[in-house]
Structure 1
């Protein structure tokens, strides 16, 4: 409106230019009299004629132009009104509270509601998707999506400021009707009135409305969905235990088993319009349209269970790992994501499907404990690769997870022995000595057989790291859980040894990674590597004790996740000087801790007649609360009928769950759903600012849900 008034004033000044010139001519006439009387008279006559003509023309043109303005404005306004009314885009005008003030024909037609009825409603009553929070404030514009009568719309709401224009008409001598009843008379009256007042006077009052637009995006969304559905998803299928299965199966049945597996895979993939190609004897690649991915998720990759049901005399069930890459910009990126997801699936023990998209990783299956690998080929290959890497470096810094347990410390000692045997300098990062390692920690710090800088803290480690340093991470593969995460950012070469199942948070850019989820402990893995490292390496009894204790603690005295290779590693450590009785004496429980453990077991409650849950509040004592909860959970597994145990500890404002399993229950996937993780039969989760009773309720609900879904 301000711009309109500026243009109108500019035009008025333009029309008044001739009037301004009259004054100039008058001034010029005065000067002409100084020149001569005759010249002055001529100038006076010219100025008088020019002035009279200019005034007459100005008055006549002023009245005529205003008539034209009024006529044009009325026609223009009528045209705009008709255009908005018949505008093909649904349009509504709302007040600031969202009440419908006016709608066009298209809006009324789409909503199938009369204009009169619409103007009695609020916009939030017309469309459920539009809420009061959707209405814009100040100058902002809000957008959203609406689904209405089988169509999809994108709506836009913007604020509109309207200045009210009120003509102030004063009384004139002519009363209505005196100028005649014809249209010309009425026009004459309006002309005189407007001319006498110089037009309308603007008042400063402003109204605010909300303009509501709707754009039909049904076709666009359909095309976008079709394009999304036709995108290709890359996938891989690996047989986890191919060699172990065929070793236990008669040779004449090998071809039959291969044919059955091929048939199961091809039949399952044919249902989702996938193309399957065999890459190797135990590896397949497939591509499928994106639209069938939800179907695979819905049946939770039933192929995993179908293949496990194949039995033609094989002692072990056949298991698969399936990986898919999706939602990346190109098919090549999808395939790379599938390869990465397969590494993750195998690192988690196999028998599961992993979907890796651009923004998340989803797991399916993983209910079985996995098949122990009888071959040591992988251990030998990783050992030789580690030895070659060490030959190019001078320093090694070893670290495990925060609050190291006996497995973390024992495996660190084993790696320290490997490194020093090659003549390299090694250090172990330990910031806090917990009760879990205190019985054996002093054997190294108080002995003259080891240098004073054998064990260092974070600050010392950061000052030592350089381009000629290898950082070895043991018993953990999550960077946020390491003793010094900052050390990983400075290290050029990183090596990871771990037996825990991988999650989406892994140590990136590791030069060498040896993740073996089938191993009972990190100490078992390092004991195997020691045998391939150098035949001349001889462990000291204290070193053998530390590694033996790591296996003993992680297997709960060889009762949990113990395989043939576990006993072989223990036998090697026994030959190296480990004393079983000495280790047992080191890790005996004091009477107060034993009472707390007994109390924790006495509070156990059964859920679904298969899961034992206990809540404890650890008291004062030499045993750390973390170790105490683990011991109680292990003890509850001795109760008949218990498939898995959960101990919930209230530790100040935080809550920790320690989970253990003795049957085919995978407690890792249970803890992952609660934000934790771990191993198939040893897992945990931690919650900040929580109450134990609330966490117990959440756990019980989760167990019931997973039990109904068949996940446990």
Structure 2
């Protein structure tokens, strides 16, 4: 483009110098005419033509030289103005070569660099831009296809929007000298412009800090704590809770409103969120420390919603976060910002509720859903265990009581449920299509078909995840803590993390769903087996409702001897468990990490048994046993209450309970997962009970 402009400019100057030639042609023509008409006058014109030609020749030579000199002087003067303009421009500007070395910069860039302590201003030329701006390197510069890029960098204490443009130019020797290039170097340059946006960022940050955050607060065990102290002390306990929450609200300049005896709403500015995260929501500890003779510690849950565009959405996010906190057992704060959840606290075990009102209400609602449906499809989690299958059998019993056909989805029968599965198939009381695969279940689906998911609340862990997309009505029964990716929009959700097992919850539902509940012995055995396996023979996580459910099942025909038959291992599995226990390594003094051999029928079950066994060793506070199943690494985690393995497993994409948890990690090796597990353990030790 520059060459075309230069050619056009030269042609215009050339035309200017051709005008005298045109005059000479006219005079020559007139001289010839006069010689023809009148000879004497023609001679006179010839003399004039000679004089004019001589004068024109000398004037052309002197004028051309003078004019070109003036043009060059003007061009040089104008180029100097441009250069001076760029040097004095307040916008920092720098030119880089293909290696990202600085070839030229203006005074504003010198001033910018001069504010940085680690940069010698006198040696800017030839420095790599990465030495000045560590976050900017050669790979970030635009390609010829991109043309230019725009990014924001922090330089010193200020923020700059940097526009980098790609240029390929042709220059003469003087221009090459200007940017310190040689003719042998590739004439590919990058020019960078630095726009100071510190003020805009400051205003943006101030605007974000002033946005409202909605927090919903719920006292988890309000009734239970009040019932544990004398009547005269109850007002004092309530006053202490209100006082601590008011002090907390005042500290963060928030507005606290109590709208129920155990529920509050708090509105504060977003700028205090970082402080709350740093002190790990210490209000949870302050509320828990309230003690005036109460047998139970007071625990609270907090759901915090952050939405930059809508106050209404912030409150809705807060409600969703609170539901998640309660679903995870309470005594924690959950922050929901857009699609991301953050968890803080969760130090204590979920407190068992003595009231049966919730279970009765859920049972009535579940009964109505079954009565309105034409069929019930029941689905548990992948690699089913006795709690999952036992709960599914219990739901089948509910459907049978209400005269509705039902099917249980199982794709692969694991060794842990093989005995129960075989007995159910061989029992004449059940139809041949009692068990179906996920694909077969799709053919049974109609508009009013009901899907019941048991012992799992995470879609990716269900036996056949695609089934969830086919149903409008989904019911969830689970005793695991709710994860950040729960099943969306169930018509009924009954998730109680304090329950020992899903079989315990289903048993309680059975007691209220009909006045005359009659179970088949194998159904009672299946539910009893689920409770037994998840409580480790009624040792872990048992409560009053656990034993009441077991007593009900015993009256319904459950037999302990038959149930024990579900738990028998073959010799290979027993040896694999012994190998995992023998070969464990101790990490951080109290953590046992081991690997279960994968050449047994059900490695994940054996790994879980080995993890339980490792806890019987003195000084072991938590155990983690890994197994490799078809390229997916399964982790079984167990602990005593002092270590929350659920939080550790969540760091690896899993979940569970405070003392019983697990994770599934696909496309990884055993060694790689062990490294990640150790990192998660280190982070847990450093951060405490926070995720």
Calculate the TM-score normalised by the size of structure 2.
0.87
Aligned to 2:657: 679
Residues in 2 aligned to 1:454 and 1:20: alpha-carbon distance in whole angstroms: 110
Cα deviation, residue 654, structure 1: 4.3
C-alpha deviations, 1:94-136, integer Å up to 9, x for none?
A: 3222332222222222323897632243333333333232333
Residues in 2 aligned to 1:97 and 1:603: alpha-carbon distance in whole angstroms: 53
Residues in 2 aligned to 1:116 and 1:372: alpha-carbon distance in whole angstroms: 72
Aligned to 1:367: 347
* 8 Å contact kept, 2:376–2:449: yes
Cα deviation, residue 429, structure 1: 1.0
Residues in 1 aligned to 2:626 and 2:170: alpha-carbon distance in whole angstroms: 66
* 8 Å contact kept, 1:94–1:210: yes
Residues in 1 aligned to 2:84 and 2:575: alpha-carbon distance in whole angstroms: 88
Cα deviation, residue 263, structure 1: 1.1
* 8 Å contact kept, 1:644–1:663: no
Of 115, 118, 142, 1:136 maps to 142
**Aligned positions of 1:358-507 closer than 5 A:** 358-507=338-487
Moved more, 609-618 or 216-225: 609-618
Residues in 2 aligned to 1:119 and 1:700: alpha-carbon distance in whole angstroms: 47
Matched, 1:333 2:313: yes
C-alpha deviations, 1:502-546, integer Å up to 9, x for none?
A: 111111121111111111111111111111111123111111111
CA gap 1:664/1:374 in 2 versus in 1, 3 angstroms:
farther
Cα deviation, residue 697, structure 1: 4.7
Aligned to 1:300: 280
CA gap 1:103/1:382 in 2 versus in 1, 3 angstroms:
same
**Aligned positions of 1:204-223 closer than 5 A:** 207-223=187-203
Aligned to 2:644: 666
CA gap 1:632/1:3 in 2 versus in 1, 3 angstroms:
same
Residues in 1 aligned to 2:524 and 2:121: alpha-carbon distance in whole angstroms: 88
Cα deviation, residue 71, structure 1: 4.5
Calculate the TM-score normalised by the size of structure 1.
0.85
Cα deviation, residue 453, structure 1: 1.9
C-alpha deviations, 1:136-171, integer Å up to 9, x for none?
A: 33353244444445333232322233323579xxxx
Of 143, 151, 171, 1:164 maps to 171
Residues in 2 aligned to 1:709 and 1:14: alpha-carbon distance in whole angstroms: 83
3-state DSSP class of the match of 1:163? coil
Residues in 2 aligned to 1:20 and 1:412: alpha-carbon distance in whole angstroms: 108
3-state DSSP class of the match of 2:504? helix
Residues in 2 aligned to 1:421 and 1:17: alpha-carbon distance in whole angstroms: 112
Residues in 2 aligned to 1:73 and 1:442: alpha-carbon distance in whole angstroms: 97
* 8 Å contact kept, 2:307–2:313: no
C-alpha deviations, 1:338-380, integer Å up to 9, x for none?
A: 1100000000000111111124211111121110111111111
Of 96, 101, 104, 1:102 maps to 104
Moved more, 554-563 or 680-689: 680-689
C-alpha deviations, 1:600-624, integer Å up to 9, x for none?
A: 323344445543333332433xx51
CA gap 1:120/1:541 in 2 versus in 1, 3 angstroms:
closer
Residues in 1 aligned to 2:261 and 2:15: alpha-carbon distance in whole angstroms: 93
CA gap 1:564/1:87 in 2 versus in 1, 3 angstroms:
same
Aligned to 2:179: none
Aligned to 2:491: 511
3-state DSSP class of the match of 1:437? helix
Matched, 1:155 2:162: yes
Aligned to 2:132: 126
Aligned to 2:240: 260
* 8 Å contact kept, 1:103–1:115: no
**Aligned positions of 1:689-704 closer than 5 A:** 689-704=667-682
Aligned to 2:519: 539
Residues in 2 aligned to 1:359 and 1:420: alpha-carbon distance in whole angstroms: 40
CA gap 1:166/1:438 in 2 versus in 1, 3 angstroms:
closer
Residues in 2 aligned to 1:438 and 1:149: alpha-carbon distance in whole angstroms: 66
Of 627, 631, 635, 2:609 maps to 631
Aligned to 1:577: 557
* 8 Å contact kept, 1:163–1:206: no
CA gap 1:701/1:530 in 2 versus in 1, 3 angstroms:
same
* 8 Å contact kept, 1:368–1:664: no
C-alpha deviations, 1:253-285, integer Å up to 9, x for none?
A: 111001111111111232222221112111111
CA gap 1:604/1:386 in 2 versus in 1, 3 angstroms:
same
CA gap 1:486/1:694 in 2 versus in 1, 3 angstroms:
closer
The runs of 5 or more residues in structure 1 that have no matched partner are: 39-44, 168-202
Alpha-carbon RMSD across the aligned residues, in angstroms, is: 3.3
3-state DSSP class of the match of 1:255? helix
Aligned to 1:598: 578
Residues in 2 aligned to 1:336 and 1:349: alpha-carbon distance in whole angstroms: 20
Aligned to 1:200: none
Residues in 1 aligned to 2:377 and 2:215: alpha-carbon distance in whole angstroms: 38
* 8 Å contact kept, 1:108–1:114: no
Cα deviation, residue 205, structure 1: 11
Moved more, 130-139 or 402-411: 130-139
Residues in 2 aligned to 1:165 and 1:226: alpha-carbon distance in whole angstroms: 51
Cα deviation, residue 250, structure 1: 1.1
Aligned to 1:196: none
* 8 Å contact kept, 2:17–2:60: no
Moved more, 405-414 or 323-332: 323-332
